[in-house]
Amino acid sequence: MENSSRRLVFSIVMVMLACGLCISLVFVAGTAIYYINQYGSSLPTPGQIIISTVDLFPSPTIEDTSIVTSPTSQELSPPHTSSPTQSLPTETQTTPQAAGLPAQIAQQMDQIQDQVVQLRGLEPKGPVKRDLLAPTQLRQHVLDDFLVDYSPDKAKRDVLVLAAFGLLEPDFDLYNFYIDLYSEQIAGFYDDKTKEMYVIQGEGFQGPERLTYAHEYDHALQDQNYDIENGLDYSQASCEKDSERCAAIQALIEGDASLLETEWYVGFATAQDRNEIQQFYSTYQSPVYDSAPTFMQQDFVFPYVNGQAFVEYLHTAGGWASVDRAYQDLPVSTEQILHPDLYPDDKPITVTLPDLKPILSEGWEMLDQETLGEWYTYLVLAYGLDPQARLDISDAQTASAGWGGDRYTVYYNAQTDATVLVLKTIWDTGRDADEFNTAFRKYAGMRFGNPGAASSDSVSWSFSGGYSEFHIQSQETDWILAPDAETTQAIWAAMQIP
């Protein structure tokens, strides 16, 4: 699929729903364990792209049941694992901001910036332009900025690719869905091109906005210290070439900011902040997010939930210094994010596919050729469009683990409304390939019906509107989806040519 949909308009947006997780029961419990493990003490009494990072409000299904108040949290100065930093002067007079930004809010922003610097241990290299946006201003930003390079035509191509994998209906209106989703969900964003940072203002600059500001300012520090676009080679052009690598970098960037946000909440959020956050999320509703296909809901939170777990793994080993080293030796796959113990040594295997144009008839166009990765392999198996064709989560996790590398390609014939999908995957071991073989046969049986010809190394399914075939050879598996058996077999023959 087009990289922009693979990572949700990658050239513009990094989506966050984890803000809500930060006040959930899972967050509070996890923070307590994390804090104790890191600092060796009990948790203080809780108070309760071109690249832009856009952080979104959460699903209201995430609930907090353990927030209490703490009048002492405002003055809390938490312990640190990073190198001490010098005290920073207030930057109110030097930080660019909108003329209408109230002085009191600017002072609060300065204070949060100092707190983030203290926690994260990254020195600011200069000021960051900042402002508040009213919710009514947001939709125009979505149209003018976030989706400026993403057209309805590109969205339709993405839908066809996602539909081939069984994740979306072929007529799903992805473009307008993005507009509605971002207009509903965006809580704040940092624009790595313009070096501007915005928080979407609700009732004022209260707990939710302050929490978002801490997260966003960490992105500004990342950019100033590591140069997100050029230093990390995290840009629209590079991500179109290797979306799997960019998904891993995104998880590092967002996992970093999510962990920082956690520390800020524990160490610096006031009792009033926590009460306001609890009140906001207890009444917040997100009908657009709730209506999203389930694989999208999972993919939205991947950089934040799994990214934070990855960063916490590094942080446990050596504090923020270990996280900083990851920016010098970047993760390169979602496999490394899902299995931090495989970072940094387990690199993806390069996989190639033949050009299928010579064996396809006139009218066929290649929509996409990319890497699926372990994460999307898991999503295909566990979160397909049809609830009756989903593997259990544990089975899908087992089946997708052991991923070594892959390549997929999707062709489309507009005249016949037909699709060809080919996915070639190399697994770490023969056992990993066997596990995927078993799981995929179960998945395909639920999706396509009873198999036709089957043997230990291949199986096929004939269904209304198409034909599917699966092969296993040692550590390699191959999945072909085509309009008919003849096309499928021709593709399989082409794949056997060295």
Tokens of 470: 């699966």
Say if CB 73 and CB 271 are below 8 A apart. yes
Give the C-alpha separation, 199 to 28, whole Å.
Answer: 24
Give the C-alpha separation, 30 to 43, whole Å.
Answer: 11
Confidence of residue 320 (pLDDT cuts 50, 70, 90): very high
Tokens of 352: 């190639």
Using one digit for the tens of pLDDT, what is the confidence trace for 309-319? 999 999 999 99
Give the C-alpha separation, 126 to 165, whole Å.
Answer: 45
Give the C-alpha separation, 388 to 203, whole Å.
Answer: 43
Hey, which of 35-44, 192-201, 222-231 has the most confident mean pLDDT?
222-231
Mean pLDDT of 207-234: 95
Mean pLDDT of 161-181: 94
- Lowest model confidence (mean pLDDT) among 224-228, 236-240, 423-427: 236-240
- Lowest model confidence (mean pLDDT) among 74-88, 319-333, 377-391: 74-88
CATH of domain 357-495: 3.40.1000.70
Tokens of 93: 């007079």
What's the per-residue H, E or C state across the chain? CCHHHHCCCCCCCCCCCHHHHCCCHHHHHHHHHHHHHHHCCCCCCCCCCCCEEEEECCCCCCCCCCCCCCCCHHHCCCCCCCCCCCCCCCCCCCCCECCCCCHHHHHHHHHHHHHHHHHHCCCCCCCCEEEEECHHHHHHHHHHHHCCCCCHHHHHHHHHHHHHCCCCCCCCCHHHHHHHHHHHHEEEEEECCCCEEEEECCCCCCHHHHHHHHHHHHHHHHHHHHCCCCCCCCCHHHHHHCHHHHHHHHHHHHHHHHHHHHHHHHHCCCHHHHHHHHHHHHHCCCHHHHHCCHHHHHHHHHHHHHHHHHHHHHHHHHHHHHHHHHCCCCCCCHHHHHCHHHCCCCCCCCCCCCCCHHHCCCCEEEEEEECCHHHHHHHHHHCCCCHHHCCCHHHHHHHHCCEEEEEEEEEEECCCCEEEEEEEEEECCHHHHHHHHHHHHHHHHHHHCCCCCECCCEEEEEECCEEEEEEEECCEEEEEEECCHHHHHHHHHHHCCC
Question: Residue 242 pLDDT more than 50?
Answer: yes
Mean pLDDT of 243-264: 95
Write down the pTM of the prediction.
0.85
pLDDT on residue 99: 56
Question: Residue 477 pLDDT more than 80?
Answer: yes
Confidence of residue 251 (pLDDT cuts 50, 70, 90): very high
Estimate to the nearest angstrom the gap between the alpha carbon of 444 and the chain centroid.
26
Say if CB 353 and CB 495 are below 8 A apart. yes
Confidence of residue 204 (pLDDT cuts 50, 70, 90): confident
Question: Residue 445 pLDDT more than 80?
Answer: yes
Question: Residue 47 pLDDT more than 60?
Answer: no
Mean pLDDT of 158-172: 97
Residue range(s) in the chain whose domain bears CATH number 3.40.1000.70? 357-495
Hey, which of 75-84, 103-112, 227-236 has the most confident mean pLDDT?
103-112
CA dihedral of 293, 29, 109, 258, whole degrees rounded to 10: -50
Confidence of residue 97 (pLDDT cuts 50, 70, 90): low
pLDDT on residue 56: 52
Give the C-alpha separation, 304 to 251, whole Å.
Answer: 7
Amino acid identity at 80: H
- Lowest model confidence (mean pLDDT) among 273-282, 420-429, 436-445: 273-282
Bridge partners (DSSP) listed for residue 51: none
Task: Work out the percent of the chain whose per-residue pLDDT is above 90.
Answer: 65
pLDDT on residue 55: 67
Mean pLDDT of 164-182: 93
pLDDT on residue 30: 33
Mean pLDDT of the chain: 82
CA dihedral of 37, 42, 45, 47, whole degrees rounded to 10: 0
> Closest Cα partner for 336 from 219, 250, 396?
250
241/444: higher pLDDT: 444
- Lowest model confidence (mean pLDDT) among 133-142, 174-183, 297-306, 385-394: 133-142
> Closest Cα partner for 191 from 258, 245, 130, 242?
130
Q: What are phi and psi of 217, to 5 degrees?
A: -70, -30
Question: Residue 29 pLDDT more than 80?
Answer: no
Task: Work out the percent of the chain whose per-residue pLDDT is above 70.
Answer: 80
146/466: higher pLDDT: 466
- Lowest model confidence (mean pLDDT) among 86-100, 366-380, 454-468: 86-100
